[in-house]
Amino acid sequence: MAGKPPRQPVSRRQHAVSGLDYLPLEADNRPILVGERTNVIGSKKFRDLINSGQYEQAAEIGRAQVKGGAQVLDLCLANPDRDEYTDMARLLPHLMPKIRVPLMIDSTDPRVIELALKHCQGKAIINSINLEEGEARVAAVVPLLHTYGAAVVVGCIDDDPQQGMAVTRERKLAIAQRAYDLLVHKYGVPPQDIIFDPLVFPVGTGDENYIGSAAETIEGLRLIKAAFPECPTILGISNVSFGLPSAGREVLNAVFLYHCTLAGLDYAIVNTQKLERYASIPEEERRLAEDLLFWRGPLTPWAPLPPSTKRKRRASGSLPLPFPWKRALPATSSKAARRGCSTTSTAPWSATSPWKSSTARSWTA
């Protein structure tokens, strides 16, 4: 062995975030659950508390999400009718003493992001950046990543005027590749700190543009994980069921989450207090949910249950899922879909509608 240099250990940096508690991403703890209810866009209760200045009570919603199983807390105060910076400055002193988990800062304002980062006890996540305006958004946020050591969510959105928001698996991968090259090779962001969001679109609104989009998201997720194994992935799970009654949403979300996890999902943004266990869902209900997710039409019509009806776990037997397959539902415009709102127009559900790409994005309401 004389004259031979010693072997150098191969180090592989592991993705991890932290609050007061350390949270590594490992094979046996996927997906990490991100609580979604501390969001003025997604939770009316949280929004009303912020609007009325009840910051202590609003912080309790975050604590309840963690108690219900959230390992990361998504925080969004981007209400266009209020000063986001002021609300963040007033809420954080109430929220941070109540939680030990990492914070996901859901904002597009660099000033608000930096304010939140200064209050974080450990390594936070910024949600999110994309290429919708080219490099402008990236250039504004990357310095904060380097200064505060944060991770970042990268949405599969670019500046294509026709298909900005990636719907097909090929577009999701192409945008992820472009973002990866830009962030890693030009801005020096470690691959482990890049969390790709392939985007989730609603499959039950009656919008023809989203038919087959759930399967495209699952397969796009699989392609991104294969191409960038060091980069974690994230999805807003409940977006897939937007427009459906609450009982049906719980089932569809759980089944979708199950298939996304098999495809390599690392982070799941969910309501941890209402997360249905996949194993507890009756086989017939799973099949119906998969029929919609993978578009195995024509689908059997089901009469929707009254809004007050609560889905309960049953030892035997099951009620029909309240998926209104054949009912005309509100169609979503791209701007309304992004905020989880519906327009006044309607689009009848059709089992024969052709697949189309779309630039609309949906968020939970």
Query: pLDDT tens digits for 143-168?
Result: 999 999 999 999 999 999 888 999 99
Q: pLDDT at residue 86 above 70?
A: yes
pLDDT tens for each residue of 250-262: 999 999 999 999 9
pLDDT tens for each residue of 95-136: 999 999 999 999 999 999 999 999 999 999 999 999 999 999
pLDDT band at 320 (very low <50, low <70, confident <90, very high): very low
Q: pLDDT at residue 9 above 60?
A: yes
CA distances from 17 to 132, 144, 145, 270 (A): 26, 16, 13, 18
Q: pLDDT at residue 359 above 60?
A: no
Higher-confidence residue of 1 and 310: namely 1
CA distances from 289 to 159, 258, 297, 313 (A): 33, 11, 12, 17
Question: Where does 131-212 have alpha helices with state H?
Answer: 136-148, 169-180
Percent of the chain topping pLDDT 70: 80
CA distances from 167 to 185, 199, 216, 341 (A): 26, 8, 7, 19
In this structure, of 20-29, 80-89, 207-216, 256-265, the range with the lowest mean pLDDT score is 207-216
DSSP 8-state symbol, 80: T
Q: pLDDT at residue 355 above 90?
A: no
CA distances from 258 to 18, 218, 255, 273 (A): 25, 10, 5, 17
Sequence-ordered list of residues with C-beta below 8 angstroms from that of 124, at least 6 positions apart, any chain: 17, 102, 103, 104, 105, 116, 117, 148, 150, 151
Sequence-ordered list of residues with C-beta below 8 angstroms from that of 245, at least 6 positions apart, any chain: 304, 305, 307, 309, 322, 324
Higher-confidence residue of 361 and 245: namely 245
Q: pLDDT at residue 67 above 70?
A: yes
Domains of the chain (ranges plus CATH)?
23-299+318-347 (3.20.20.20)
State the CB neighbour count (10 A cutoff) for residue 104: 29
pLDDT tens for each residue of 323-348: 333 223 333 333 333 333 333 233 33
